[in-house]
Amino acid sequence: MSQDSVAAQDSAAGSDTGDAGDTGNRLPRELWILITGGFIVAVGMGIVSPALPTFAASFNVGVAAASLIVSAFAFMRLVFAPVSGKLVSWFGERRIYAWGIFIVGLSTSACAFAQSYWQLLVFRGLGGTGSTMFTVAALALLVRLSPPHLRGRASSLWGTSFLLGSIFGPIIGGAMIGYSLRLPFLTYGVALYLAALVGWLMLRNSTLAAPDRSSGAPEITVREALGHRAYRAALLSNLNKGWAVQGVRIALVPLFVVEALQLPQSMAGVALSVFAAGNAAVLIPAGRLADARGRKPLLLAGLAISAVGSVSLGFSNSVPWLLGASLVAGIGAGLMTPAQSAAIADIVGAKSKGGPVLAVFQMSADVGAILGPIVAGVLADVLSFQAAFAATGLIAVLALMLWLVAPETLPRSRSTSEPEKD
């Protein structure tokens, strides 16, 4: 290869990664700001999660009405996601990131002062709009700021920040409930105001995080992204993640432990903690492997292991089996998550304006989180818990089959940032 060719490739690499490419094997400072912000948001969500159903029930409503408070937040995230994608494209990631966190803080603070069930329902639902603004904007920044050869590592750190926050948050929230049901909401609201302020102040003067209006790169459309087999596969694998991790794991596993295995409720918490431990143990190594070996091998392995773990859960008949299956499922989710996010970043590209594409990707997980508990719950009632967990494993298998025929998206070398085309 001629020196001119090498120089041209190096120039192409620099144009895609921007300043981020100059960091070598170090992540840009701006990414650490996002990771810290994600941890604060996740801790806060964990703080209010133990208080929310109990606070709703204090207004003398039934279990279904109390559960609706949780669903309202997820529903608003889903319906507002397309708007969030457009907002990111119009106003830039930094503004929507800060405003999204601020709106969730405003909504959460208002919940603390709710005087009726309906007020609480409206306040909590409105927070879902800010949540999806924050999520889409943060993901867009993650895509744009991560050097192509470090996208797996950046995604794994991002996922770890949320995982650790979701572990510590409920512990803090559980302690606060003893003092007041309103205290967790006030605490989370204040933390979000600070997170929005710090994020805005630290990103507003960043040239790396500034919108690149000089590149002239067109906005990648959802239709164009759907023409990429890897994007279609990522939508289904993300739906599988929402279905299994955010939906069935939370809604069905505790019921299975108590009703089917006749074990105390505390054992459900142990099973969920073992899942989280398996997830946390492999997230960082999986991110590094996704950068070194490719996104596809990690996705295939993660989906296969997730399917085995989900199906095995349904056939648990002892505590060791339950905990072993939970561990396997957690490892599978941990292997898959960084590679999946990195693959989306590869497809969108650092220079493209991909807000709507990222919003649809996020929506796929929300759809899974909403449909998973419903479908699995009906199967458990009509057939068995085994059928419910088998259906969950089947979604992972279907996603695996799509990834088998999808191309690898990791750039072939550091000299190019374009993923392989169909």
Give the model confidence (pLDDT) of 186-213 as tens digits.
Answer: 888 888 888 888 777 776 665 555 555 5
Pair (246, 273) in one structural domain: yes
H/E segment holding residue 59: none
Pair (204, 322) in one structural domain: no
pLDDT at 341 over 90: no
Average pLDDT of every residue of the chain: 77
Q: Is residue 418 part of a domain?
A: no
Model pLDDT, residue 212: 56
pLDDT at 386 over 80: yes
More confident residue, 250 or 127: 127
Q: Is residue 268 part of a domain?
A: yes
Q: Is residue 20 part of a domain?
A: no
pLDDT at 62 over 80: no
Pair (340, 227) in one structural domain: yes
pLDDT at 258 over 50: yes
User: φ and ψ at 219, to 5 degrees?
Assistant: -75, 125
Across the range 94-108, mean pLDDT stands at 87
Q: Is residue 336 part of a domain?
A: yes
pLDDT digits (tens, 9 = 90+) for 292-320: 888 889 999 999 999 999 898 888 888 88
Model pLDDT, residue 91: 77
pLDDT at 415 over 50: no
Q: Is residue 358 part of a domain?
A: yes
Domain final position from 181, 209, 237? 209
Model pLDDT, residue 304: 94
**DSSP assignment letter at 172:** H
CA distance 332 to 302: 4
Domain final position from 209, 236, 270? 209
Pair (205, 238) in one structural domain: no
pLDDT at 345 over 90: no
pLDDT at 346 over 70: yes
Q: Is residue 132 part of a domain?
A: yes
Number of compact structural domains in the chain = 2
Pair (255, 371) in one structural domain: yes
Across the range 157-172, mean pLDDT stands at 74
Q: How many CA atoms lie within 13 A of 100 on its CB side?
A: 31
Pair (194, 256) in one structural domain: no
Across the range 376-394, mean pLDDT stands at 85
Provide the percentage of residues in the chain whose pLDDT is more than 70. 81
Pair (195, 228) in one structural domain: no
Across the range 112-131, mean pLDDT stands at 87
Residues counted in the chain: 422
Pair (323, 197) in one structural domain: no
The long-range contacts involving 3-12, CB below 8 angstroms and separated by at least 24 positions, are 6/415, 9/415, 9/416, 10/415, 12/415, 12/416, 12/417
Pair (141, 74) in one structural domain: yes
CA 163 to chain centre: 10
Please name which of 244, 247, 416 lies closest in space to residue 333, comparing C-alpha atoms: 244
Q: Which of 203-217, 223-237, 253-267 has the lowest mean pLDDT?
A: 203-217
Pair (91, 175) in one structural domain: yes
Tell whether pTM > 0.85.
Answer: no
**DSSP assignment letter at 24:** T
Q: Is residue 329 part of a domain?
A: yes
**Nearest-5° Cα angle at 109, 106 to 111:** 110
Model pLDDT, residue 404: 92
Maximum Cα interatomic distance, the chain, rounded to a whole number of Å: 76
Domain final position from 153, 184, 209? 209
Pair (86, 39) in one structural domain: yes
Pair (224, 200) in one structural domain: no
Q: Is residue 95 part of a domain?
A: yes
CA distance 169 to 187: 11
* Domain extent for 47: 27-209
Model pLDDT, residue 32: 80
* CATH value at residue 362: 1.20.1250.20
The answer to whether the beta carbons of residues 338 and 298 sit under 8 Å apart is yes
Question: Please, which residues bridge with residue 353 across strands?
Answer: 219
Model pLDDT, residue 351: 54
Please name which of 143, 187, 150 lies closest in space to residue 34, comparing C-alpha atoms: 143
Model pLDDT, residue 204: 66
Q: How many CA atoms lie within 13 A of 291 on its CB side?
A: 18
pLDDT at 381 over 90: no
Helix (H, G, I), strand (E, B) or coil at 353: strand
pLDDT at 161 over 70: yes
399 pLDDT band (50/70/90 cuts)? very high
Other Cβ atoms less than 10 A from the Cβ of 141: the count is 23
395 pLDDT band (50/70/90 cuts)? very high
